Chains A and B, each alone.
Chain A
Amino acid sequence: SQKIEQNSEALNIQEGKTATLTCNYTNYSPAYLQWYRQDPGRGPVFLLLIRENEKEKRKERLKVTFDTTLKQSLFHITASQPADSATYLCALGGDKIIFGKGTRLHILP
């Protein structure tokens, strides 16, 4: 069955550093991959989408890479700020949409 894993349940990063979150998957060939941000008690908010034929996507301080050979996506937040603290979800899209369990990111001031 399809499996999607996001690295570590929680990640602590010093303010100003780059936070890197990982999303690995198996038994699936997604046509695209999305990243969402979720704050406590709120619904997920879309951040970025990257297609299978794209290697990298950027949006302001955010960068996503997608390696279909490694079956992995990396999500980077550069110059991180305490306001970036949240849970980040990756989602694979294709015949169906599958969400990872998320990584809780804490940016320490």
Chain B
Amino acid sequence: EAQVTQNPRYLITVTGKKLTVTCSQNMNHEYMSWYRQDPGLGLRQIYYSMNVEVTDKGDVPEGYKVSRKEKRNFPLILESPSPNQTSLYFCASSLSRTLYEQYFGPGTRLTVT
């Protein structure tokens, strides 16, 4: 089954404790992206990757890091999480950056206390 998986689905952590949210897709997609979704603000892009070893900032990259060492994986790293990073995070993948639909993962609900 074609899918995007994320882990963990739920995470409660404390300020400053480094964490990684994993994302994996099994569709051989070139394009992958991370979004955060907050009430009243909608979906905002954090980082995206057009292919292996190619990443770029989205609209809200501050406080996040990403890497793309393999085509299927695109982890999101929070080196020093802060409470304003409490949010619902979605990973998405697509055949390419433009003109194709994005497939979204199930989401990771992160709470930073």
Residues of A within 8 A of B (CB): 31-32, 34, 41-46, 49, 51, 89, 93-94, 96-97, 99-102
Q: Which 3 A-B pairs have the closest CB atoms?
A: A43-B104, A46-B101, A101-B42
Inter-chain contacts of A49 with B (CB < 8 A): 99-101
B4 nearest in chain A by CB position:
A43
Tally the A-B contacts, defined by beta carbons under 8 Å: 48
B12 at the interface (CB under 8 A from A): no
Query: Is the pair B104, A44 in contact by a Cβ cutoff of 8 Å?
Result: yes
Q: A41-B107, A43-B104, A99-B42 are in contact. List 10 more A-B contacts (CB 8 A).
A: A32-B99, A42-B106, A43-B4, A43-B106, A43-B107, A44-B90, A99-B35, A99-B43, A101-B40, A101-B41
Residues of B within 8 A of A (CB): 4, 33, 35, 40-45, 58-59, 90, 92, 98-107
CA A100 – CA B41 in complex, angstroms? 9
A contact face: mostly helix, strand, loop, or mixed: loop
Q: How far is the CB of A50 from chain B (nearest CB, A)?
A: 11
Q: Which of B90, B98, B102, B105 has a CB less than 8 Å from the CB of A31?
A: B98
Query: Is the pair B105, A34 in contact by a Cβ cutoff of 8 Å?
Result: no
Question: Could you show 8 A-B contacts with beta carbons less than 8 Å apart?
Answer: A32-B98, A43-B92, A44-B43, A44-B102, A46-B101, A49-B99, A89-B42, A93-B98
Query: Is the pair A46, B103 in contact by a Cβ cutoff of 8 Å?
Result: yes
Inter-chain contacts of B98 with A (CB < 8 A): 31-32, 93-94
Q: How far is the CB of A46 from chain B (nearest CB, A)?
A: 4
CA A102 – CA B88 in complex, angstroms? 15
Query: Is the pair A96, B104 in contact by a Cβ cutoff of 8 Å?
Result: no
Inter-chain contacts of A97 with B (CB < 8 A): 33, 45, 102
Inter-chain contacts of B59 with A (CB < 8 A): 96
